[in-house]
Amino acid sequence: MISDIEQIGDAEVGRIVSYRIQKQYGFIERPGGEELFFHHASIVFEGNGSCNHARAICARAMGLVPPEKNVNAEMPPQMIERLMADARVQYRVVTTAKGLEARSVRRV
């Protein structure tokens, strides 16, 4: 929730370590090596399509995959998750009651 934000940092660029479509969250590695949690709702969606998590389809997550990897909704979720690994993303670090988290996550 936006209301739980205590502090918002500057934009950073890192890489996706992992993302689980069914669980709707993942982790980003910051330039110094620290990992940040990010939630499905924190992904800035700039494409076509929609999410159907019951069928393990996440248009937001697919939007983070580099275009040259040709991801599509017919792929198994595990394949999409593997294609997301190491993708460069921009995000803002926020401090919440639970600790640091990445928000406004988008593909670079």
Q: Would you kindly state where each structural domain of the chain is located, as residue ranges? A: 2-107
Q: How far is CA 9 from the centre of its chain?
A: 17
Q: 29 with 35: CB under 8 angstroms?
A: yes
Of 101 and 1, more confident: 101
CA dihedral (16, 68, 105, 60) positive or negative: negative
Task: Enumerate the H helices of 11-69 as residue ranges.
Answer: 59-62
Percent of the chain with pLDDT over 90: 59
CATH architecture of 2-107: Beta Barrel (2.40)
pLDDT band at 56 (very low <50, low <70, confident <90, very high): confident
